[in-house]
Structure formats: C-alpha cells, structure tokens
A and B are shown apart, each in its own frame.
Chain A
Amino acid sequence: LREMTDHQLMIAVRDGDLDKLGHLFEKYHKQLFNFFRRQTEDVQLCEDFVQEVFLRMLKYRHTYRGEAKFTTWMFSIAHNARIEHFRKKGQRKNFTDEIDNLVSSQPNPAELTERSSLHEILYRALDRLSDEKREVLVMSRFHNLKYEEISRITGHPVGTIKARVFHAIRDLRMFFNEQTDEAKQ
C-alpha cells in the first residue's frame, strides 16, 4: 500500500475495492477538516462536511477519471458540498457586504484585550472575508494548491482566483491594522 499513489487508491475504490477509501480517509480527513474549519466556526458542521466528502467520493466514485490530481477532485467535492449546504440554508454571505462587515462588526475593546493575540485578530479577519475570497485564500495559503488547481476546483478563471487572493490579503491587512490601531487607543 505504501507504494500506491492517491490516484491508484481512488482507482481501486472506483473499481470496487472500497476498503481503499479508508486509506484516503486516513491521509486526508485532517486536511479536509482544517479546510472547512478555516471557513466555518461550527466544529460539528466541519466534521459532518468531512463525512459528506467521503460519502460523496463513494457515491460518485464511478465518475473519477484521474485527469486532474486526486486532491483537485477531492477539493472540488469539498467546495461543492460546502456551497450546496449554505445555499440550502440560505446562509451564504453576500459577496458585496464584506466591507460593511469589516467596519461594522468590530469587537468591543474589552473583548479585544482578552483575545488580542495576532492569531485571534487574524481569525476574526478571516471570518469577515466573503466566502469567495476566504475559500481561495484557504486553498492557496493553507493547502498549497496552485491557482490553476483552484480554478479547476471552483470553476472560475485563474485571473479571478488571483484577484480574489489579492483582495483577500488586502482586506485582511486593512482589518488587521484597524484592530491593532483600536487596541492601542
């Protein structure tokens, strides 16, 4: 098994050797959990998403062709599962609302003093990005996916992906500076 690539494992699953999915699960469930966790506060929901991704891998295993990398296929499923969930729930953030959010949903100073670490501020800033920007940033920064892969996963042009990353980082910086300035006052 050590010699089997992700692609070979998934091909085996596709061809009926379902136990092999367990190996892919062992390898990727944590990474998938973190993919969702960077975008969703609800830990239980993140766990459900991970289950859902593997369920879909089984369900749609016959569609696996291996034209792209296995992880591209896997993240496509993760991307779709998440979008569908929030679409059903009607909870997706409005893409254009985010700057309002950046300005209007600031924590109070006492709260900031309590949780004023750099990490906490960054997590807050990530929370306030639009889904679209946050997702591409998470894929790029935390999962080292190339922009070309993210384009395949999300179905958006590479130029759009890069623009989102650019604006996501700039928004994060703006939010971060606002927070630290406020904490100093």
Chain B
Amino acid sequence: MKCQGLRKLIPDYLAGELPQEVLREFEAHLMQCDDCRAELEQMELTWVALGDLPEDEYTRVVLNVSGVQGILKSSGEEVEIKLPSFGANPISTMAGWPLRKVR
C-alpha cells in the first residue's frame, strides 16, 4: 500500500468500514510511514472531537399526527397546529398544511 492509497482509505478507517484484510495492510503501512501516521493522527483527533460535540437540546416540538389535529408543545406553551383532515383526497389536502406553527 502506498501513501495515496492509504489516505483514500482514511474515511473508511474512521467510520470503521475497513475490511479486516485491508485494515492489516493499512496498519502495516502506518508502522513504516511517519507522514501517514501524522496525517491520520490529526484526522482522528478531529473525528473524535466531532463525536464529543453536544447535541442541541431538542424537546420543544411534539407532533401528534392522530386524526385531524396535532399538538405542538413549544417550550412550555401549548400551541395548536391545524392539520388537514385525511379525507378522500389527502394528497391534495397536504398542500394546505401550514408548515409554521399556528399561534
């Protein structure tokens, strides 16, 4: 395996998608190539740091699609969203479903 080949495989390595036999070649190259080892180390640090990013707290919207109405709970306040009745021709009705909350 050459340096260019290894670098192409870095995304697979980071995502854990490298097949075992390729992984062995990958690691063998790393053992003898300082440049690739340094490159991978930098990328791995970034990959790991990304994994530590907290998710936004998202508890604000609850959509209950049951029958003709859903209820949105928005940070403590209850607001109603007008859903179409699922009648004979629901697809055309969908076009009228307001995307924004009805306050």
Contacts from A to B (Cβ < 8 Å): 18-19, 21-22, 25-26, 29-30, 33-34, 37, 43, 47-48, 50-52, 54-55, 58-59, 118-119, 122-123, 137, 140-142, 146-147, 162-163, 165-166, 169-170, 172-173, 176
Contacts and interface: CB of A to CB of B under 8 A. Distances in A.
B65 interface: yes
B55 A34 contact: yes
A47 B62 CA distance: 11
Contact of B17 (A19, A43, A58, A146): A146
A123 B54 CA distance: 10
Contacts of B77: none
B51 interface: yes
B31 interface: no
- Which range holds the interface residue count of chain B? 35 or more
Given A29-B61, A34-B55, A55 B99 contact: yes
A165 to B, nearest CB: 4
Given A33-B56, A51-B99, A173-B46, A59 B91 contact: yes
Interface in B1-49: 7-8, 10-12, 14-15, 17, 42-43, 45-47, 49
Given A34-B55, A140-B15, A170-B43, A22 B66 contact: yes
Contact of B15 (A22, A122, A146, A176): A146
Nearest to A171: B46
A169 B12 CA distance: 13
Given A22-B64, A146-B15, A141 B8 contact: no
A65 B58 CA distance: 30
In order of increasing CB-CB distance, the 3 nearest A-B pairs are A165-B11, A162-B11, A22-B65
A86 to B, nearest CB: 16
Contacts of B58: 29-30, 33-34, 37
